[in-house]
Chain A
Amino acid sequence: MLPTAGRGLSRPEAGYGLEAPVQHHRFSPYTFNGGTVLAIAGEDFCIVASDTRLSEGYSIHSRDSPKCYKLTERTVIGCTGFHGDCLTLTKIIEARLKVTTNATCLTFFLDVLYHWQMYKHSNNKTMTTGAIAAMLSTILYSRRFFPYYVYNIIGGLDEEGKGAVYSFDPVGSYERESFKAGGSASAMLQPLLDNQIGFKNMQNVERVPLTLEKALQLVKDVFISAAERDVYTGDALKICIVTKDGIKEQTIQLRKD
């Protein structure tokens, strides 16, 4: 994912030839704020981890901007991409989960939702992870023609208590997986996870189920590696561990350069 040329500078490749490079000053409603999110589902746990760097272009806006948001006692969402859309999207999701319907509230939010369901108040129970995933898919698709620039990964426990990870694209396509990396370093992390957790391309290896300790160690190792090679990933790592006893958080420092 390339950063937006928000300052109107031409791409270096466009300047080959004898003419001067053409400057395109083009307003874009989006920008890319970086960050990486990772989620791993185990037998009875789920880990959602993200770095805490918020950047734009060549600058770092903040070193303490985690990308995991707790939705319920069993579900955590990680959002990367354009930070403005991440904030609004999480607000909308939380509102759909909790807030009562009020006609005047609607006008203060983007007119992207046509049904504000008081799920918890009307159904008197918290939404399951799968239900939140389906709801997020429709929220994202309702903006099909002006999408939220957010790459989401939902991690949590399903109704049976097993770990569940759902990954999304910006317009709402989703599927359930065992592990997924999203964000700027996703292309670096996903192959490593395929090999270590999915046992892809490994022969004569015993496929043991993943324990929580091994998964945590893996998460820390991959983020340390990502921080080495991706400029948008670094500063600190926040890990949310979802088990039937609730959500625990850890913070580990990463490279700050």
Chain B
Amino acid sequence: MRRRHFAAFAPCPQQRWRPRPLHRRHFVGAHSPPPESKMALASVLRAELSEFSPNFPKSFPKRFLEDFAEDSEGIPEILRDPPGPPRVLAAPPWGLEAEPEGLGLHILHGTTTLAFKTPLGVTVAVDSRATAGAYIASQAVRKAAPLGGRMLGTMAGGAADCAFWQRLVARQCRVQELRNKEPVSLAAASKLLANLVYQYKGLGLSMGTMLCAWDKRGPGLYYVDSEGQRVAGAAFAVGSGASYAFGVLDRGLAEAPGSEAAACGLARRAVYQAARRDAYSGGSVRVFHVGPEGWREVSHDDVADLQDIYGE
């Protein structure tokens, strides 16, 4: 029975609202498998359509091929380069590309998000800085978003990637909730998200998210990322400031926090210290608590104000 539920929401390549990687695209309005259009403008470039065969990119116009560096996927790099620095939240820790040439592209990431489980629930804390290269694009980004009524998802990596996929999963969870008349479990929601982004593995999505909820199994915490990792655990920190946050967190979790206030205080301090040490984290610290009744925001403090409280 569980399998049927998964099958109903298995990632379907025919779903039309999701972005298609270029080499897997279908024509708009086609209901049969299309002549695989590989270029976004293929429908306009009718005369050259013969060049865009299913064997893209090997059949890409030869006169351009020598200009393009192909990467391991065989896709010309120019079709992968984003045009300008996109807004990003923290880097998942699997390493960053060196700055590519071209339009001054920067994919430096910066964020600190963390979550840990206690018998009282799941405590989540996030910073609020988004950077585009070395420019701080925003100091007021919301990096924790609800996924349906009772789940909370944090965002790290590419801001658009996180926001889009979590919103899509939230929609799927809501549909499943309506069909089954019970809230979707955290394991199912995290599996859904992991399977969705796994289809795009290797294409440049950048997303490191923690899903937190209190479902019928009790407090739950999963880490899901765009590399295909999905792992349950008791404590995670994600982002460029994660190592600083772990330092505070592991020390504080040596004895289990006695109360919700103590847990939230620990989470707040961990993100604050990471914001102090990591140049790409900062702005303000939001702390959430996920309990049996759902999630709620516990506090929202500017890092500059916390400096007065905690001192150096």
Query: Residues of A at under 8 Å CB distance from B?
Result: 1-5, 11, 24-30, 32, 81-82, 103, 106-108, 110-115, 137-138, 140-149, 151, 167, 169-175, 177, 187
In the bound assembly, the distance between CA atoms of A147 and B78 in angstroms comes to: 11
Q: CA separation between A151 and B87, bound complex, in Å? A: 11
Do B64 and A169 have beta carbons less than 8 Å apart?
A: no
For the complex with contacts A110-B41, A137-B163, 12 further pairs of A-B residues with Cβ separation under 8 Å are A2-B103, A26-B68, A110-B43, A111-B37, A112-B40, A144-B205, A145-B20, A148-B83, A149-B83, A167-B138, A169-B159, A173-B86
Q: What is the CA–CA distance of A111 and B22 in the complex, to the nearest angstrom?
A: 11
User: Do A147 and B43 touch across chains, with their CB atoms under 8 A apart?
Assistant: no
**9 A-B pairs with C-beta separation under 8 A:** A25-B67, A28-B78, A107-B28, A110-B41, A115-B17, A140-B160, A142-B19, A151-B84, A187-B135
Residue of A nearest to B63 (CB): A27
Question: What band does the interface of chain B fall in when counting residues whose beta carbon is under 8 Å from A?
Answer: 35 or more
Determine the chain A residues whose CB is within 8 A of the CB of B40 once the complex forms.
110-112, 143, 146
Mostly, the A contact residues are loop
Residue contact A173 to B159, C-beta cutoff 8 Å: yes
List B11-63 residues whose CB lies under 8 Å from chain A: 16-22, 25, 27-29, 37, 40-44
- The A-contacting residues of B in range 126-152, CB under 8 angstroms, are 130, 132, 135, 137-138, 140-142
Q: How far is the CB of A67 from chain B (nearest CB, A)?
A: 16
Task: State whether A149 touches B138 (Cβ < 8 A).
Answer: no
Collect the chain B residues with CB atoms within 8 Å of residue A146's CB: 22, 40, 79
Chain A residue numbers with a CB within 8 Å of B158 are 171, 173
The answer on a CB contact under 8 Å between B78 and A29 is: yes
Least Cβ–Cβ distance between B307 and chain A, in angstroms: 14
- A28, A141, A177: the one contacting B164 at CB < 8 Å is A141
**Does B80 sit at the interface, judged by CB under 8 A?**
yes
Task: Choose one: B17, B18, B82; the contact of A147 (CB below 8 Å).
Answer: B82
Cα distance A125–B164 in the bound complex, in angstroms: 26
Q: B82–A170 contact, CB under 8 A?
A: yes
**What are the residues of chain B within 8 A of A26 when measuring CB–CB?**
67-68, 78, 102
**A82: chain B residues within 8 A (beta carbon):** 83
Q: Is B203 on the interface with A (CB-CB < 8 A)?
A: yes
Q: Which residues of A contact B247 (CB under 8 A)?
A: none
Do A145 and B21 have beta carbons less than 8 Å apart?
yes
Within the complex, which residue of A115, A149, A177 is in contact with B140, where a contact is CB–CB below 8 Å?
A177
Closest to B40 in A: A146
User: Contacts of A112 on B, CB cut-off 8 Å?
Assistant: 40
Residues from chain A with a CB closer than 8 A to the CB of B163 are 137, 172-174
Known: A27-B78, A112-B40. A4 touches B102 (CB 8 A): yes
* Nearest B residue to A178, CB-CB: B140
| B104, CB-defined interface residue at 8 Å | yes
**Contact among B28, B42, B83 with A113 in the assembled complex (CB-CB below 8 Å):** B28
CA A82 to CA B103, docked complex, whole Å: 12
Complex formed: what's the CA distance from A175 to B162 in Å?
A: 13
- Chain A residues near B119 (CB-CB < 8 A): none
Q: CB distance B78 to A145 under 8 Å?
A: no
Q: Contact mask B73-99 → A, CB, 8 Å, 1/0?
A: 000001110111111000000000000
Smallest CB–CB gap between A31 and chain B, Å? 9
Query: What's the Cα separation between A133 and B20 when bound, in Å?
Result: 21
A10 nearest in chain B by CB position: B101
- Say whether A173 contacts B87, CB under 8 Å: yes
Query: A32 touching B28 by the CB < 8 A rule?
Result: no
Q: Which residues of chain B come closer than 8 Å to A142, judged between CB atoms?
A: 17-20
Do A4 and B103 touch (CB < 8 A)? yes
Please judge, given known A-B contacts A138-B17, A173-B159, A173-B163, whether A147 and B83 are in contact too, CB under 8 Å. yes
CB contact under 8 A between A145 and B103, given known A171-B160, A173-B159, A175-B142: no
